[in-house]
Amino acid sequence: MLRFDIAPVCSNAYRFQATMSFAIAAIYLFTPYQWVSLLLAVGGFIRGFVNPHKCLSYKLFAGITDKLGIPKMQNAGSKMFADKIAAIAGTAMFVTWLIGSPVGMIPAYAILIFAFIDLATGFCAACWAYGAYYKFKQA
């Protein structure tokens, strides 16, 4: 569903955000600093459930892409869906770290892989799934 109640977002700023998600997942998986998953959970919650334009990291990355002259605006709906998934994955990672369970590695690896694909190619798997769902739903 297209979101017309929220201003369009910059997909290039979201590629920077994918870089941050990749870094957070890598830190979670390969260092003892697993608490960083809280950053993924909070950022994903703000961008996905509140409004991407209220997130400090999105504002920073949108400003950078604007200064570089590479803003590429798109409807916010699919990116907000991707952020909801990131918020849920980050929360699962953080909670499982708190209780000492290794289960949080599953969403961490998923974030690592899909964030890398997004930052390297610009293909957002969650955005694709969002669009495919609504196309299937209309049929």
The pLDDT score that the predictor gives to residue 107 is: 98
Note whether 66 and 9 are within 8 A (CB): no
Amino acid at 52: P
pLDDT tier at 70, thresholds 50, 70, 90: very high
> What number is the average pLDDT over the span 48-62?
96
At 2 the pLDDT is 75
Give the separation between CA 118 and CA 51, rounded to whole angstroms: 21
The encoded tokens of residue 18 equal 């994918």
Candidates 85, 83, 107, 81; CA nearest to 94 is: 107
* This prediction's pTM: 0.92
What is the percentage of the chain residues whose pLDDT exceeds 90? 88
pLDDT of residue 65: 96
Kindly state the average pLDDT of the residues 102-109: 97
Average pLDDT over residues 71-99: 96
